[in-house]
Amino acid sequence: MDVPDVRRDYTRAVLDERDAAPEPIAQFRAWLAEAAAADPLDPTAMTLSTADAHGRPSARVVLLKGCDERGFVFFTNYGSRKARELAVNPYAALVFYWPAMDRQVRAEGLVEKTSREETAAYFATRPLDSRLSAWASRQSEPIAGREALEQALAAATRRFAGRDVPAPDFWGGYRLRPTLVEFWQGRAGRLHDRLAYRLGEDGAWTVARLQP
């Protein structure tokens, strides 16, 4: 099968060092707000890349659920493949892609678990069906078929009938603490803007323009 020849020019915006925020989280929040306004369908979707103890990578799309000066937060089953890989290699990378804005953001850094208090607070905001699904699924493990999964969900529903559904102890959050955050703005003729924020040993961020 031939790959479609999709070509378009990028002329929506520019990214200038003089206009960028002095630290990356502020810049990211501004871009996220603009992405959500331009296309509200999953602006928090991000590709999460991890690697196992041998350096073999894997990637998947997850949703950003928190962002502050400490980093980027997502939640998952602690038995999932991503969690198993983070247990042996706690470094990861994130990519956000917002085609409506011709923008990407990349982040790299050390990943750590959030506190159980943070996990419980977020879990309580999830719809009931999502909370029950977290109990029913052993993420990334093989299962005989869809019927077996639905039976596990039915069992979880009976277990918590009329009761609160707490966060399972095998489920929780992770926070990527960035040491590198790169902002990419598509430009005409593929002469894109790229600004990379790097965290120094003194805790200060420096910004450098990268060639496209």
**Which residues sit opposite 48 in a β-bridge?**
60, 94
Query: Tens digit of pLDDT for each residue in 183-198?
Result: 999 999 999 999 999 9
Nearest residue to 173 via CA among 134, 206, 209, 129? 134
Q: What CATH number has the domain spanning 1-121+168-212?
A: 2.30.110.10
39, HSE (Cβ side, Cα atoms, 13 Å): 14
Q: Report the alpha-carbon distance of residue 72 to residue 111 in Å, rounded.
A: 9
Q: Report the alpha-carbon distance of residue 123 to residue 168 in Å, rounded.
A: 9
Query: Tens digit of pLDDT for each residue in 65-100?
Result: 999 999 999 999 999 999 999 999 999 999 999 999
7 as an active site residue: the answer is no
Specify the pLDDT at position 206.
97
Residue ranges of the domains in the chain?
1-121+168-212, 125-166
132 and 72 Cβ atoms separated by less than 8 Å:
no
Q: Which of 84, 126, 190, 194 is catalytic?
A: 190
